[in-house]
Chains A and B, each alone.
Chain A
Amino acid sequence: MSIGHTLLGLLESGPRHGYDLKRAFDERFGHDRPLAYGQVYSTMARLLKNGLVEVDGIEPGGGPERKRYAITDAGVTDVESWLAQPEKPEPYLQTTLYTKVVLAILTGRPAADLLDTQRAEHLRLMRELTRRKSGGDLADQLICDHALFHLEADLRWLELTAARLDQLAAEVTR
């Protein structure tokens, strides 16, 4: 999961302090593992260096967490392409995909397209595995089937999420 892209996405709705960013991230995505301040600081420093964010202002009192960051045009483009890019289908993608969906909703992008793109990518891989399976020996088949069942689980999750997008949007933007 790309924390950089996530923080960038969160910034798209408006400039934020580092502390706000951490809180927003934790609230939406960091259910079990809150983000460390250090990680926010280093990520923002990297984004700043790459020109994806800029410092909008500094609160009096000092400390890295008192800086206010804003997203640059380059940053918006970066979020855009990250969301549009399907993840390489592999197990345990849901955290990333969930983040992407929420960010898409938050930033007013079509979340359904995102899911469909991912779905197409998953099925593409599944087709490949299915083809490989039909040509392979039993060991190949068993290995492919393992992957196929996992991909199928993900795909079902994508389907289910797509069916619940409206519900999710209502919750996220509340």
Chain B
Amino acid sequence: MTAAPEPLLVATDLHKVYGHTPALDGAELTVRAGEVVAVMGPSGSGKSTLLHCLAGIVTPDSGEVRYRGRQLSAMSDGERSALRRTDFGFVFQFGQLVPELTCLENVAMPMRLGGRKRKEAEAQAATWLERLEVADIADQRPGEVSGGQGQRVAVARALVGEPRVVFADEPTGALDSLNGERVMRLLTEAAHDTGAAVVLVTHEPRVAAYSDREIVVRDGKSRDMERVS
């Protein structure tokens, strides 16, 4: 994968404390356009917090996250929300699909929130469901489909707006190997096709193997495995 000269997301010296528990202690990370970065580390190491900071969902206590040169913590909630709609996509372990909406509507949601017409949004959502091999469950609700199907719907939703960065936090965490592999294959292929970068938090080496490079977070500190040897 060719790395763009200009980094997309740059996090420097992030610190974050929850209560008395330090979650991030000087972590940093750079994401370049189109690359898949795996963030690994033991539970509680702060890898999810790092992802949340990168996505602007959580504001670090100190340090900064710059997305295309703009500091995320300086943006308003509205701007960050808009960023989540247009530039970012999310795939979580579970809980991110709206149970009341059909799979198709779930996928169309980011575009509709962005002001696109319903028909248009749903037409595009349908092509994405097809691409992720879940076109047959378009009219079912998340509660009625299997875990693997649900995650593929989530991937479709994350990618439907052709974001620049997809944040995936344990996307296969609740899936068996076969379904996990399938989700990862579809996620990375689709991200590659649209040129989206992927920040992939996982503790599964086989999932991390879908990445281009690896960051390990331990005790709130990050370690770029490329620079190890």
| A interface, CB within 8 angstroms of B | 84, 86, 113, 116-117, 119-123, 126-127, 129-130, 134, 148-149, 151-152, 155-156, 159, 162-163
In the assembled complex, how far is the CB of residue A83 from the closest CB belonging to chain B, in whole angstroms?
12
A163 pairs with B209, CB closer than 8 A: no
Interface string of B212-229 (1 = CB under 8 A from A): 101010100001011011
Given A116-B223, A134-B185, A149–B42 Cβ distance below 8 Å?
A: no
Contacts of A162 in B (CB 8 A): 218
Query: Complex: how many Å from CA A120 to CA B227?
Result: 10
- Which residue on chain B has the smallest CB distance to residue A158? B205
Given A86-B229, A117-B229, A120-B228, A127–B216 Cβ distance below 8 Å?
A: no
Query: Complex: how many Å from CA A126 to CA B208?
Result: 9
A155 pairs with B225, CB closer than 8 A: no
Contacts of B218 in A (CB 8 A): 162
Residue B211 interfacial (CB < 8 Å): yes
A163 pairs with B42, CB closer than 8 A: yes
A-B contact count (CB 8 A): 50
A152 pairs with B205, CB closer than 8 A: yes
Q: List 7 other contacts, CB 8 Å, given A116-B223, A119-B216, A152-B206.
A: A116-B216, A120-B225, A123-B214, A126-B206, A127-B210, A130-B209, A134-B189
A155 pairs with B205, CB closer than 8 A: yes
Interface band, chain B:
10 to 19
In the assembled complex, how far is the CB of residue B210 from the closest CB belonging to chain A, in whole angstroms?
6
Contacts of A159 in B (CB 8 A): 42
Given A123-B214, A134-B185, A149–B225 Cβ distance below 8 Å?
A: no
A148 pairs with B229, CB closer than 8 A: no
- Which residue on chain B has the smallest CB distance to residue A126? B209
In-complex Cβ contact of A117 among B185, B206, B212, B228 (8 A)? B228
Residues of chain B from 171 to 229 with CB closer than 8 A to chain A in the complex: 185, 189, 204-206, 208-212, 214, 216, 218, 223, 225-226, 228-229
In the assembled complex, how far is the CB of residue B117 from the closest CB belonging to chain A, in whole angstroms?
36
Contacts of A155 in B (CB 8 A): 205
B210 pairs with A130, CB closer than 8 A: yes
Query: Complex: how many Å from CA A130 to CA B200?
Result: 16
A-B contact pairs, 26 of them (CB 8 A): A86-B229, A113-B228, A116-B216, A116-B223, A117-B229, A119-B216, A119-B228, A120-B214, A120-B226, A120-B228, A123-B208, A126-B205, A126-B208, A126-B209, A127-B209, A129-B209, A130-B206, A130-B210, A134-B185, A148-B209, A149-B206, A151-B205, A152-B204, A152-B205, A152-B206, A156-B205
Query: Complex: how many Å from CA A148 to CA B206?
Result: 7
Contacts of A148 in B (CB 8 A): 206, 209
Query: Complex: how many Å from CA A114 to CA B214?
Result: 16
Given A116-B216, A148-B209, A155-B205, A123–B228 Cβ distance below 8 Å?
A: no
Query: Complex: how many Å from CA A161 to CA B185?
Result: 30
Query: Complex: how many Å from CA A172 to CA B202?
Result: 32
A123 pairs with B229, CB closer than 8 A: no
- Which 4 A-B residue pairings sit nearest by Cβ, starting from the closest? A126-B209, A130-B209, A155-B205, A120-B225
Query: Complex: how many Å from CA A134 to CA B184?
Result: 11
- Which residue on chain B has the smallest CB distance to residue A123? B214
- Which residue on chain A has the smallest CB distance to residue B225? A120
Query: Complex: how many Å from CA A152 to CA B57?
Result: 31
* Residue with the greatest number of chain A CB neighbours at <10 A, chosen from B205, B208, B218, B225: B205
Query: Complex: how many Å from CA A58 to CA B27?
Result: 54
Query: Complex: how many Å from CA A121 to CA B185?
Result: 22
Query: Complex: how many Å from CA A159 to CA B216?
Result: 10
- Which residue on chain B has the smallest CB distance to residue A141? B181
- Which residue on chain A has the smallest CB distance to residue B208? A123
Contacts of B209 in A (CB 8 A): 123, 126-127, 129-130, 148
